Amino acid sequence: ESSILSMLDDFRDEGEVREYCWQVLRTYPDLKKEDWIIGIEGGDYIYSFNGNYIFITDDIWSFNLIACRPVLDVLVEKIKSLR
């Protein structure tokens, strides 16, 4: 329930979700890839913007964005407005 994928089930596939997510995230001037020393595998990153944190899995096999519900709501609204 903290995944953006479940909120964008009308999108074709993860590739389309990936494309729109990155378009929206790049509009935040303070978007920053965090450098946390935790057990994150390649393709898994924590980003921050506007005082919020999101977890992104982005590799050749899959894409997902995990965040708290209020952050997901804002991102989903912006993504749907782009589409």
pLDDT for 38 beyond 90 = no
Say what the pLDDT of residue 72 is.
Answer: 97
Say what the pLDDT of residue 66 is.
Answer: 95
Say what the pLDDT of residue 83 is.
Answer: 84
Say what the pLDDT of residue 53 is.
Answer: 95
What's the chain's Rg over C-alpha atoms?
A: 12
Confidence of residue 65 (pLDDT cuts 50, 70, 90): very high
Confidence of residue 39 (pLDDT cuts 50, 70, 90): low
Confidence of residue 37 (pLDDT cuts 50, 70, 90): low
With beta carbons less than 8 A apart as the criterion, state whether 20 and 83 touch.
yes
